Amino acid sequence: MSDLTTTSGIIQKIISHGLSKNASDWHFTAGEPLALRISGVMCKCDGTDGHPNFKITEREITELMVEHTPEAKRLIFMTESGQHLDVSDVIEEERFRLHFEWITGLSGNRQAAAVLRHIPSELPQMENLGLPFGYQKLIQSPPPHGLILVTGTSGSGKTTTLAASINYLNQHLADKISTLEAPVEFFHRSQKSLVIHRSVGVDVPTFQKGIEAAMRSDPDILLVGEMRDLDTISAALSAAETGHLVFASLHTNNAPGALSRILDSVPEGTRDQYRAMLSNSLRAVLAQRLVPKIGGGRIGVFEYMANTPAVASQIRENKIGQLRGTIKTGKEHYMISLDQSLKRLVAEKKITRETALEFADNRTELEQDLRIL
């Protein structure tokens, strides 16, 4: 970086290099080489494997934060009690989600680190994501109210799926759509629908308060970026029960895990009440992962569970463990398990057997199923 004399020039070159490599994330740690996540794999920019040697300093991370974060949020982050800071902004004509956090450096001192995630400029289209037929059918003929959960680990494409869903509804329904995210990533221009965006920490203090504010503004559809706590879960379920279609995301590996995560966050004495609420208001759960594709890149693997009478009964009767079998045998309701999805991708020669087994929910069972291909 000796030929670069300004931080803006350094950032410009770093961003450009990552984009040229189709990176999804840029990791900035003071004193360490820049790390890029490319097709799910971490790659260090240390002068090897075709990457320049980009070594990041504390000053460059601080200047990046000063340039792209609101002063009020930045001042809170800089205090002793500040923990992390999330914003979205445009850098070098590309949109990014910026996450700043405190870490303990090698010398034991507290120092800031940053992760940038690239947000594509074009809104995603459902037909390009390989989403299960059942989920696409649900979005194309959406219920008037209820809860639709999209779940997966960090970086599994949940935000992209939700953005594609909202994009489709915006194009085809004459509704009011309110989104609530921390921060807002994809911006939707109002088309047939009216779309309103709220950013947690900027427009509203919390997800719960954001849902309450949205409910007073006459919405039809509500997107909750993440159900992080019991207050948010309760507010989202209440909205779904009172005539609104609610989309929400969770960090879990599969569809039954999403329901367990919700119920585990509820005080034990009220779980029967929440099971009843979920059995009535839930419409579907979509779980997803991104796995390596033959020929390079990654492809989505999905699990789709519709809330059929059998599923609703199992939720209400606290038989979450039986949902895996119900999903596997729910073909008539367009349900598909993650392992069935992996098997299909192997049959279509889009992923290898080894990849399928690596990401399987039940490796032994999938291994047996793959023998007949």
As a whole number of angstroms, the distance between CA 340 and CA 188 comes to 33
Give the chain's domain count.
2
Q: Quick one: tokens of 96?
A: 């990014």
Tell me if 334 sits within 8 A of 137, measured CB to CB. Answer: yes
Same structural domain for residues 109 and 182?
Answer: no
Same structural domain for residues 147 and 111?
Answer: no
Within a domain: 342: no
Same structural domain for residues 182 and 48?
Answer: no
pLDDT tens column, 328-339: 999 999 999 999
Within a domain: 351: no
Within a domain: 280: yes
- Burial profile 90-103: b = 16 or more Cβ within 10 angstroms, e = fewer: ebeeebbbbbbebe
pLDDT tens column, 188-245: 999 999 999 999 988 999 999 999 999 999 999 999 999 989 999 999 999 999 999 9
| Predicted pLDDT of residue 197 | 97
Within a domain: 347: no
Within a domain: 361: no
**Radius of gyration of the chain from its Cα atoms, rounded to whole angstroms:** 22
Residue after which a domain boundary falls, among 68, 102, 119: 119
Amino acid at 302: F
| Predicted pLDDT of residue 83 | 84
Comparing C-alpha atoms, which of 228, 173, 222 is closest to residue 197?
222
Q: How many residues does the chain have?
A: 373
What band does 4 get if pLDDT is binned at 50, 70 and 90? very low
As a whole number of angstroms, the distance between CA 88 and CA 280 comes to 36
| Predicted pLDDT of residue 8 | 65
Expressed as residue numbers, the domain containing 216 is 126-336
The torsion defined by the Cα of 180, 245, 243 and 269, in degrees rounded to 10, comes to: -80
Cα angle vertex 189, ends 186, 194, to 5°?
A: 115
Within a domain: 353: no
Mean pLDDT of 16-33: 94
- Burial profile 332-368: b = 16 or more Cβ within 10 angstroms, e = fewer: ebbbbbbbbbbbbbbeeebbeeebbbebbbeeeebee
Same structural domain for residues 186 and 329?
Answer: yes
Same structural domain for residues 20 and 135?
Answer: no
Within a domain: 24: yes
Same structural domain for residues 258 and 131?
Answer: yes
As a whole number of angstroms, the distance between CA 234 and CA 240 comes to 10
Same structural domain for residues 67 and 157?
Answer: no
Same structural domain for residues 141 and 47?
Answer: no
Same structural domain for residues 179 and 92?
Answer: no
Mean pLDDT, the chain, whole residue set: 93
Same structural domain for residues 286 and 224?
Answer: yes
The CATH number given to whatever domain includes residue 163 is: 3.40.50.300
As a whole number of angstroms, the distance between CA 307 and CA 315 comes to 9
